[in-house]
Amino acid sequence: MVIPNLGRSPRPVPVDAELRPEPGSFRDPANRVFHAGDDVLRALDETATAHWRALAGSTFFPPLVAAGKICGTEELPAGVAFPAPSAGSRLPAGSDRPAGSALPNWAAVLRHERIPFISHPYEWSFAMLRDAALLHLEILRAALSAGFTTKDGSAYNLQWRGTEPVFIDVGSFAPLRDGEPWAGYRQFCQTLLYPLMLGAHLGLAFQPWLRAQVDGISPEQMGPLFRGTRRLLPGVLTHVHLHGSVQRRNAATSTSDVRAQLRAAGYTRELAQATVRGMEKLVRRLDHQPPPTHWVDYQRTCGYSGDDRSGKERFVTAALSTADRRRLVLDLGANDGRYARLAARHADYVVAVEQDPAVLDRLYRTLRGEGERRVLPLVMDLADPSPGGGWRAVERASFAARASADTVLALALVHHLAIGRNVPLPEVVSCLVGFVAPGGRLVVEFVHPDDPMAARLLANKPDGIFPDYRRDAFESLLAAHGTVEDRLELPSGTRTLYRVARS
Amino acid sequence: MNHLAYLDAGSGSLIVQAVVGGVAGVAVAAKLYWRRLVSRFRRQPTDQS
């Protein structure tokens, strides 16, 4: 089967590359994801192989792959030597299979399109989570019509190609058994529907909940938040309260008994489809724009002169227009995405990190409207970045473990961390350099203490508590981590830009 | 072995989907509960004997 441009290396079969099991792929023993060099491989047991072949020959799957809604996938030719993952020595510590689970003999191996940067739902904005939920339901609806279903319904089934959501869990598809409801419904509620309800109905940020609980929000946690007239808000009575109460009352009944009872009572595929349509309608109704903060207007109020801005743009452009094309650029403190867009002209992929959900949500909606596929906007506070999560804290990789970029942009950021958050200047520099891949560049702006924006931050802190927040101290820190290749003092005279090659 | 069921779908989560599926779904859920009720009454005499 033909797959769209996978953004992967042209090597035919990565038999020689070291296989690294994906620590986030162990829950479904029928298949497991491995990394080999730049390739993403999925090993399948016999049943999963039969399901995959039926899927590849189905009427719904190839069109969704061609439309970019499901990640590109191909089966490697039979006979490819794919080592069984039983060689314990090849598995990195902390990522091998949970003890006691039998290792299947893989019957087939798939190769997937490489997603340029893996992100987690707690790094997405409201509109991103909503679009991801709608794509999941659209795919499920198409699958049901063709006699397939998905075994689960997690937000982690989705990733991004810029602002385009992609369903990545090809191992989740399986033939539908008529008369059975969706096995992934509870996961869908917990990791997608409930977080969206928190935003749309209560105006609460869902990100802290998803970051704290890998399985999402339970109906029991939702219940107390939706008492009184809030019960009447769309979807709450059924998906939250009734769901929780039926769950409690049926806790002692096995799911296989319930499946048999539902089939006997006449549950049909049409009903399953009606449920999915109802959920799509509900998710479309759930909308929320995080309230604007002062960051929304930052570009207008930040005190840049026109000369400063054009000088800064020229400097950043020069830093990105090097002979070797940049694969990944990290724009830290992206705000309205001005420099992320600029970077996208010179790089394969840009990850724009912004701590303010309102700013990020606005940026996502704008980029999505433009069909941008090379800028991924993410919500994250750099002074409190995503930690590792889930099993052994490696199932969902920390931001630090994922972030290794050819160029890191840290524009108008250092003073917020060093003064606003009291992070010692050497720590700030060391952290930023840590995101730069070997041979990469850091493009960083230092806002002098006498700049109006820095002065505003300093006014909120006692005098003299940041004695090393000086340009010379900053420059010697940069020199300790690499070579300063280029520098530019902006015309206002209170900001300096540096391009540093990491040593 | 049901290979679809690597995940515990949750008994209640399966039933509630019928209710969410509209009028026809509510009828299926009602039938399920009715059958449970009937089978409970049917079983009782044999339990006592």
- Taking chain A, what is the end-to-end CA distance rounded to the nearest angstrom? 44
Q: Are residues A76 and A224 in the same domain?
A: no
Residue B2 has pLDDT above 80, yes or no: no
A101 to chain B, any CB pair closer than 8 A? The answer is no
Please, is A315 exposed, middle or buried when counting C-beta atoms within 10 Å of its C-beta (0-12, 13-18, 19+)? buried
Please, is B48 exposed, middle or buried when counting C-beta atoms within 10 Å of its C-beta (0-12, 13-18, 19+)? exposed
CA distance A201 to A303: 36
Q: Do B3 and A30 touch (CB under 8 A)?
A: yes
Two tokens, residue A190: 């917990």
Q: A464 phi and psi, to 5 degrees? A: 75, 10
Q: How many CA atoms lie within 13 A of A267 on its CB side?
A: 29
CA distance A7 to A162: 13
Under the banding of pLDDT at 50, 70 and 90, the label for residue B49 is very low
Q: Are residues A124 and A92 in the same domain?
A: no
Q: Do A266 and B28 touch (CB under 8 A)?
A: yes
CA distance B29 to A265: 7
B11 to chain A, any CB pair closer than 8 A? The answer is yes
Q: Which helix (H) or strand (E) holds A375?
A: strand A375-379
- Pick A238's closest partner by Cβ from B10, B12, B20: B20
Chain B hits for A265, CB-CB cut-off 8 Å, are 18, 28-29, 31-32, 35
CA distance A47 to A27: 16
CA distance A496 to A487: 7
Residue A335 belongs to what domain range?
294-502
CA distance A143 to A70: 12
CA distance A485 to A497: 11
Chain A hits for B31, CB-CB cut-off 8 Å, are 265-266
SS3 assignment for A138-164: HHHHHHHHCCEEECCCCHHHEEEECCE
Residue at a domain's end among A84, A114, A144:
A114
Two tokens, residue A387: 């930690």
Q: Are residues A419 and A437 in the same domain?
A: yes
Q: Are residues A62 and A177 in the same domain?
A: no
CA distance B36 to A425: 68
Chain B hits for A272, CB-CB cut-off 8 Å, are 17, 21
Residue at a domain's end among A114, A139, A157:
A114
Q: Point out which residues pair with A112 in neighbouring strands.
A: A40, A73
Q: What's the structural domain count of chain A?
A: 3
Q: Are residues A281 and A302 in the same domain?
A: no
Q: Do B14 and A255 touch (CB under 8 A)?
A: yes
Q: Are residues A54 and A142 in the same domain?
A: no
Mean pLDDT of B13-38: 90
Residue A116: helix, strand or coil by DSSP? coil
Looking at residue A79, what is its pLDDT? Answer: 64
CA distance A332 to A417: 12
A261 to chain B, any CB pair closer than 8 A? The answer is yes
Nearest residue to A7 (alpha-carbon basis) of A373, A396, A341: A373
Q: Do A151 and B31 touch (CB under 8 A)?
A: no
CA distance A281 to A271: 15
Residue at a domain's end among A254, A288, A322:
A288
Q: Evaluate whether A132 touches A121 at the Cβ level (below 8 Å).
A: yes
Q: Do A247 and B13 touch (CB under 8 A)?
A: yes
Residue B3 has pLDDT above 90, yes or no: no
Nearest residue to A153 (alpha-carbon basis) of A45, A239, A245, A62: A239
Chain B hits for A245, CB-CB cut-off 8 Å, are 12
Q: Point out which residues pair with A158 in neighbouring strands.
A: A167
User: How many A/B residue pairs have CB atoms within 8 Å?
Assistant: 133
Looking at residue A491, what is its pLDDT? Answer: 92
Q: Are residues A333 and A423 in the same domain?
A: yes
ipTM, 2 dp: 0.84
Interface of A with B in 371-400 (CB under 8 A): none
The residue with tokens 């702006």 is A445
Instruction: Provide the shortest C-alpha distance from residue B17 to chain A (in Å).
Output: 7
CA distance A207 to A386: 11
According to DSSP, the β-strands at A405-410 and A347-354 are: unpaired
Q: Evaluate whether A251 touches A228 at the Cβ level (below 8 Å).
A: no
| Torsion sign over Cα A193, A173, A281, A373 | positive
Q: B41 phi and psi, to 5 degrees? A: -70, -35
Q: Are residues A347 and A360 in the same domain?
A: yes
Domain of A350: which CATH number?
3.40.50.150
| Segments in chain A below pLDDT 50 | 1-10, 86-103
Domain chopping of chain B, boundaries = 12-48
Q: Which residue of B has its CA nearest to A255?
A: B11
B47 to chain A, any CB pair closer than 8 A? The answer is no
CA distance A44 to A476: 53
B37 to chain A, any CB pair closer than 8 A? The answer is no
A238 to chain B, any CB pair closer than 8 A? The answer is yes
Q: Are residues A231 and A318 in the same domain?
A: no
Q: Are residues A55 and A128 in the same domain?
A: no
CA distance A185 to A173: 14
Instruction: Provide the shortest C-alpha distance from residue A69 to chain B (in Å).
Output: 23
Q: Do A238 and B29 touch (CB under 8 A)?
A: no
Residue B5 has pLDDT above 70, yes or no: no
What secondary structure does DSSP assign to A45-99, as a single string? -HHHHHHHHHHHTSSSHHHHHHTTSB--EEEPPTT-----TT-GGGSPTT-SPPT
Under the banding of pLDDT at 50, 70 and 90, the label for residue B45 is low
Q: Do B9 and A238 touch (CB under 8 A)?
A: no
